[in-house]
Every structure is written in structure tokens, then in C-alpha cells.
């Protein structure tokens, strides 16, 4: 009996040592898959630019075409095709997300709907039973983001406007928390931030602030793709930014002066990383 207890104790110790390592390996695998998704989206974006006289893709997710062209993907509630009979619940919602991607401009260049889903996206398990499947949003630097007279939030409409393509973000891994009354959560339209003025005497991008949330689906890390076709992962330095990213509080976006917004804005190193790579006419 004593020998059996010793063996059980040894097994328990080994399990305690191995489980964290296995969990870390799983997150690393999810991150690798996520980076692959991001790279495919970036390459698809570049191919679209080449076919459209350097015009960039519309990062709105609403239906139909506009002066800025067809949306890169279409929101699930704007899908025009009829779902197969018998689909319900999560299988139906996943089909809507996939079909919405197929009806958008990106599908022609990256014909795999699964690349808009990070395998680490946990929102479907935490959002009160809601379903979430789209893990990425286009940067609000491009059509589909803010439309304003503020030159710091003006849009880049031609790839030729980008003078530092290897340093300008295209797609952001986003953790939206709002469902808009729908049984699922989407990253609606583009991912936006207030980039701040790089010419501010107090320091570059000193006035930058978060608007939308990044994600932290595979540890304290989020992924980004860039206008030259590469993708990279950012390990957030501040636990405040990770908490802001992981929050499923539906009011975290407009509540920029509340605890989450203030805490995230205080993490200037992480904010600088994104703001300095967010393309604007002041920061091409």
C-alpha cells in the first residue's frame, strides 16, 4: 500500500510539472496558427491591391459595395445566401460567419474561410453562451474605419500612400465584447484607435489612446499583419492591457474614462507599439 501511494504521489508530481508545459505548448501552437492566418490575410490584401490599381480593400463589414468597394467580409446578419436546411445554434452561426467571408472581397484572394478564426479565440466559451468566430478586424487606418475631418484619423485609400509598408498594420487580432442583441459576437467593421500626433513636442504618439480592444487569445499576446505581407506577435508588457483585451464587459469601448480605459491608456509602451504602426497621413 505504501509503495502504491508513493507511485501515485510521483505521478501527481509529474502531472503538476507537465500540465503547465502542455498548456504553454498549446498556446504556442495556437499563436503559430494565428500568425499563419494573419499572413494569408495580408498576402490576400496585397493581391487585391495589385488587381485594383493600388486601391486598398474596404475594411467595413457591412453588406454590398460602396465608393470604397466591396467589404473584405460581410457581417453574419448581412449574409444574402440562404443557410442549408436543418442548421441551428452554433453550426448555423459558424456557417453565417463563413458565408459572410465568402461574400466579401478577400475570399477571391484567400479562399479559406477558416483563416478568420484564431483557434485560441475563447469568446464563445465566456460570453454568456454567445457564439464568436471572427477573430480579426482590418485597421481603421483604411476605408471602413473612422470617417472624419480630423487629419489624424483620415483614411489611407491607396497603397502608394504607405511609405513604410513593413511597419504599418493591416489586420488586428480583436476581442470584441458586444453582440448587439444577436446570439453571437462579431468584430464589427474596422479596428480603431486614436493614434495621437507623432509631431507632438511632448513625445511621439504621446496623445494616442485605445478605442477598440486588441485580443489576448493565446496568452498575453496578440497578432498583427502588415502591408508588406508579414505577420508578427506582440507580447503585451502590461497586465492592464491584457485585462482590457480579455474583458467581456460590453461597455469597455465607450467607457474610455472608466477603470479599464484609464488602466489601458496608462500602459504607454504597449500603446506606443500599436500607435506608431497605425497608418495615418501624419504617419504613412
Domain ranges of the chain: 2-275
End-to-end CA gap in the chain: 72
Question: What would the pLDDT profile of 74-113 be if each residue is shown by its tens digit?
Answer: 999 999 999 999 999 899 999 999 999 999 999 999 999 9
Taking a C-beta distance cutoff of 8 angstroms, is the pair 135, 185 a contact? no
Q: What mean pLDDT is predicted for residues 219-225?
A: 96
User: Does residue 18 register a pLDDT over 60?
Assistant: no
DSSP lists the bridge partners of residue 52 as none
pLDDT of residue 178: 78
pTM of the model: 0.88
Question: What would the pLDDT profile of 236-276 be if each residue is shown by its tens digit?
Answer: 998 888 988 988 888 776 555 555 555 556 677 888 899 99
pLDDT bracket for residue 29 (50, 70, 90): confident
pLDDT of residue 228: 97
Residue 131 CA: distances (Å) to CA of 43, 153, 182, 221, 270: 28, 32, 9, 22, 29
pLDDT of residue 58: 94
CA distance 66 to 243: 36
Q: Which helix (H) or strand (E) holds 184?
A: strand 184-185
Taking a C-beta distance cutoff of 8 angstroms, is the pair 227, 48 a contact? no
Question: What would the pLDDT profile of 35-75 be if each residue is shown by its tens digit?
Answer: 999 999 999 999 999 999 999 999 999 876 677 889 999 99
- For the chain, what is the radius of gyration of the CA atoms? 20
CA distance 148 to 228: 27
pLDDT bracket for residue 128 (50, 70, 90): low
Amino acid at each position: 500500500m505504501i509503495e502504491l501511494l508513493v507511485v501515485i504521489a510521483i505521478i501527481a508530481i509529474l502531472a503538476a510539472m507537465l500540465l503547465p508545459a502542455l498548456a504553454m505548448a498549446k498556446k504556442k501552437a495556437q499563436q503559430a496558427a494565428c500568425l499563419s492566418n494573419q499572413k494569408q490575410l495580408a498576402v490576400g490584401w496585397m493581391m487585391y491591391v495589385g488587381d485594383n490599381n493600388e486601391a486598398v480593400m474596404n475594411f467595413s463589414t457591412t453588406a454590398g459595395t460602396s465608393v470604397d468597394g466591396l467589404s473584405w467580409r460581410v457581417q453574419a446578419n448581412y449574409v444574402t445566401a440562404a443557410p442549408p436546411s436543418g442548421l441551428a445554434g452554433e453550426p448555423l452561426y459558424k456557417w453565417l460567419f463563413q458565408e459572410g467571408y465568402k461574400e466579401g472581397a478577400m475570399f477571391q484572394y484567400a479562399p479559406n474561410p477558416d483563416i478568420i478564426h484564431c483557434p485560441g479565440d475563447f469568446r464563445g466559451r465566456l460570453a454568456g453562451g454567445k457564439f464568436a468566430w471572427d477573430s480579426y478586424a482590418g485597421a481603421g487606418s483604411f476605408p471602413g474605419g473612422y470617417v472624419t475631418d480630423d487629419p489624424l484619423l483620415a483614411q489611407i485609400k491607396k497603397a502608394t500612400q504607405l511609405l513604410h509598408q513593413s511597419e504599418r498594420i493591416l489586420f488586428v487580432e480583436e476581442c470584441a465584447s458586444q453582440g448587439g442583441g444577436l446570439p453571437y459576437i462579431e468584430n464589427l467593421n474596422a479596428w480603431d484607435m486614436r493614434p495621437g500626433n507623432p509631431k507632438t513636442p511632448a513625445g511621439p504618439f504621446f496623445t494616442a489612446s485605445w478605442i477598440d480592444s486588441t485580443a489576448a487569445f493565446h496568452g498575453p499576446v496578440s497578432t498583427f499583419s502588415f502591408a508588406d505581407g508579414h505577420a508578427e506577435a506582440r507580447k503585451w508588457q502590461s497586465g492592464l492591457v491584457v485585462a482590457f483585451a480579455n474583458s467581456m464587459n460590453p461597455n469597455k469601448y465607450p467607457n474610455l474614462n472608466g477603470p479599464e480605459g484609464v488602466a489601458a491608456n496608462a500602459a504607454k509602451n504597449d500603446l506606443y507599439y500599436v500607435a506608431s504602426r497605425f497608418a495615418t497621413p501624419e504617419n504613412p
